[in-house]
Amino acid sequence: MTRIGSLIGATILATAGIAGTAQAQDFDLRQFEGTTLDLLYAEISFIPGLKELLPEFEELTGIHVNIETLSEAAARQKAQIESASGSGAFDIVGIQSGNLPLYVQNGWLKPVSDYFGNPAVSNPDQLDIDDFIPSTLQGMAVDGNQYCLPFFAATVMLYYQIDKFEQAGITEPPKTFEDLLDVAKRVHTPEVPAIALRGSPPSSAGNIWTFNLFLYGEGGRYFADYPNDLSVTVDSPEALSALETFVTLKRGYAPEGSVNFVFDDVVTAMQQGNVVMAIDGAPLAGRILDPEQSKVAGNLGFAVVPGGTAGPKPSFASHGLCISAASDTPDAAYLFLEWATSAETMVKISQNSSYLATPRNAVWENEAFIEKYNFDFGGGSFLAAYQQSLAVAPADYYPPIPVWGLISDRMGQAVQAAEIGQQTPAEALAAASRDISDILKTEGYRN
């Protein structure tokens, strides 16, 4: 997770160097021949490329895999409903780190660590557990048990149009929130607003994905001392400063209608050059720079997001593939997980799709990966900015509490209420604090 400099040249691990690990297993790869596995998750990058490789896995093992994809919110809801019912409809579910504690609390998953060291189904060379970026493993673990294998390391970065900065006399990207407000003021025009940010509140994929970086960057937090002291602190002076900055950006320097922006809207706004800056997912760069659609290819700069008194705190989430406790073929499911999250498979997916959010160091150092994704148009190396962001992103960006989904939704509503002027930032945070305290009491976390 360090070794930023090695990205460009120190130690290159070519694709051929990680090929063939599946075939090196000393157990029977076809022991589950004829099995069908069903997988559910969102259509985020990695999944489309994984679908293309399924015939390769079936030829290798005789196992057929069906993948159902929905929007992230719909996939989360369906997976939780099916898990709660114990239906066994899905052998494998994708889970984002903020939602994992709920699954673990309810016993909906079989830990993948149960298989580590089992020569019947696990190949240590293919698993190569130490190759994963530690924070991505941490996001997929609870109380020391590894429940899922990571396939996606998500963080955010600041994107900006290089020529717009140059025209405004700006020589480097903003490093503080104060800088960001100053830059926004200098580059903003009615025709090309300064910045695009998520605004829609639902779920942890909504505005909280972005707002939290302002909250943590100012030294704010959700609880006084999680998990020891669950006193709610979302109405602290630090939180108020964060929300005031966020609202100023949204109301003064963002496109019309951005109060309802989801990540697709942010991507399109940046991709089409309709904004000067955007803060959103680093994994979205492949879409923003899609050669068939992008109007900013060749003119895009990349930087770690600005910070406040606590420094930059980029968003972070790990996504993993997990085995349902209700699956009647968990061993076959694990065999698939190990293959799907291997460095060999991830390199292939990075080449057959726009997948670049890999949690594996070996892929970050792969020559083909670097050649395809190390965008640099004079505004800094994309891959370097990505790794720098991962290095400072909080692993517990979403507090690992099973009721995080309820808390996140309520906080997202408060942020939007301030965005649209329904409440002042102080009023919105005070109301959210009361309601989150009630959620904790209702769910048995506080008296």
Per-residue pLDDT for 419 more than 70?
yes
Residue bearing the bigger pLDDT, 204 or 35:
35
- Does residue 85 or residue 17 have the better pLDDT? 85
Task: Assign 291 a pLDDT band (cuts: 50, 70, 90).
Answer: confident
Domain boundaries, the chain: 17-153+317-373, 155-315+384-442
Considering only CA atoms, which of 224, 223, 217 is closest in space to residue 238? 217
Q: Which H or E run includes 415?
A: helix 404-419
Residues 210-256: pLDDT tens digits? 999 999 999 999 999 999 999 999 999 999 999 999 999 999 999 99
Please say if the pLDDT value at position 21 is more than 50: no
Rounded to an integer, the average pLDDT of 28-57 is 95
d(CA 447, CA 444): 7
Q: Which residue has the higher pLDDT, 196 or 13?
A: 196
| Matching fold, domains 17-153+317-373 and 155-315+384-442 | yes
Mark residue 446 as left, alpha or beta (left: phi above 0; alpha: psi -120 to 50; beta: remaining). beta
Give the per-residue pLDDT at 72.
84
Across the range 341-347, mean pLDDT stands at 98
Q: Is the pLDDT of residue 27 over 90?
A: no
pLDDT of residue 447: 76
Q: CB-side exposure of 375: number of CA atoms within 13 Å?
A: 26
Residue 6 predicted with pLDDT over 70: no
Architecture of domain 155-315+384-442: 3-Layer(aba) Sandwich (3.40)
Give 303's strand partners: 158
CATH placement of domain 17-153+317-373: 3.40.190.10
Cβ-Cβ contacts under 8 Å for 318 (sequence gap 6 or more):
96, 97, 135, 136, 137, 138, 139, 140, 150, 152, 153, 154, 359
**Average per-residue pLDDT for the chain:** 92
Q: pLDDT grade, residue 341 (50/70/90)?
A: very high
pLDDT at 203: 63
d(C-alpha 281, C-alpha 64), whole Å: 32
18-27, 100-109, 409-418, 431-440, range with the lowest pLDDT: 18-27
What is the C-alpha to C-alpha distance for residues 346 and 357, in angstroms, rounded to an integer? 10
The full length of the chain comes to 447
**pLDDT value at residue 202:** 73
Tens-digit pLDDT profile for residues 305-320: 999 999 999 999 999 9
The percent of residues above 70 in pLDDT, for the chain, comes to 94
Neighbours of 433 (CB within 10 A): 21
45 has pLDDT over 70 = yes
DSSP state of 394: -
**Quick count: other Cβ atoms within 10 Å of Cβ 219?**
18
pTM attached to this predicted model: 0.87
DSSP state of 304: P
Q: pLDDT band at 446, cuts 50/70/90?
A: confident
Per-residue pLDDT, 215: 98
pLDDT in tens, 367-377: 999 999 999 99
The DSSP symbol for 30 reads: T
Inter-axis angle of helices 404-419 and 425-442, to 10 degrees?
A: 160
Binned at pLDDT 50, 70 and 90, residue 276 comes out as: very high
Please tell me the predicted confidence (pLDDT) of residue 195: 98
- Residue in the structure block whose two tokens are 């400063």: 241
pLDDT at 39: 98
Q: What is the mean pLDDT of residues 155-175?
A: 97
pLDDT value at 205 more than 80? no
Residue 5's pLDDT band (cuts 50, 70, 90): very low
- Residues 92-101 have a mean pLDDT of 95
> Residues with Cβ < 8 Å from 29, sequence gap 6 or more?
22, 23, 60, 61, 335
Indicate if the pLDDT at residue 119 is higher than 80.
yes
Buried (b) or exposed (e) across 281-314, using 16+ Cβ within 10 A? bbbbbbbbbeeeebebeebbbbbbbbbbeeebbb
| CA distances from residue 344 to 2, 17, 66, 94, 250 in whole angstroms, order as listed | 21, 9, 21, 20, 42
CA–CA separation, 266 and 199 (whole Å) = 10
Is residue 288's pLDDT more than 90? yes
- What is residue 125's predicted lDDT score, i.e. its pLDDT? 93
| 192 and 164 Cβ atoms separated by less than 8 Å | yes
pLDDT at 196: 98
